[in-house]
Amino acid sequence: MSQVFQGDKVIPVSLVEIPALSITQIKTEDQDGYQAVQIGVGAEKGRPKIKREVRLEGELSWKIGDQIKADIFEPGDRVKVTGYSKGKGFQGVVKRWGFSGRNASHGGKGQVRTLGSVGSRFPQRVIKGRKMPGQMGYQKTTVRNLEIVEVDVENSLLAIKGAIPGPKHSLLIIQEL
Res 51 pLDDT > 80: no
* Domain assignment present for 142: yes
Q: In terms of domains, do 60 and 139 share one? A: no
| Length in residues, the chain | 177
Number of structural domains, the chain?
A: 2
Q: Which amino acid is at 15?
A: L
Q: Which amino acid is at 39?
A: I
* Domain assignment present for 101: no
When pLDDT is cut at 50, 70 and 90, the band that residue 97 belongs to is very high
Domain range for residue 150? 1-17+74-89+133-177
Per-residue burial over 9-46, b if 16 or more Cβ lie within 10 Å, else e, is eeeebbebebeebbbbebbeeeeeeebbbbbbbeeeee
* pLDDT at res. 46: 61
* pLDDT at res. 55: 78
Q: In terms of domains, do 82 and 63 share one? A: no
* Domain assignment present for 173: yes
Q: In terms of domains, do 143 and 175 share one? A: yes
Provide mean pLDDT across the span 74-78: 95
Res 101 pLDDT > 90: no
* Domain assignment present for 52: yes
Q: In terms of domains, do 84 and 168 share one? A: yes
Give tens-digit pLDDT for 8-47.
999 999 999 988 788 888 888 889 888 888 888 876 666 6
* Domain assignment present for 141: yes
Domain of 141: which CATH number? 2.40.30.10
Q: In terms of domains, do 83 and 145 share one? A: yes
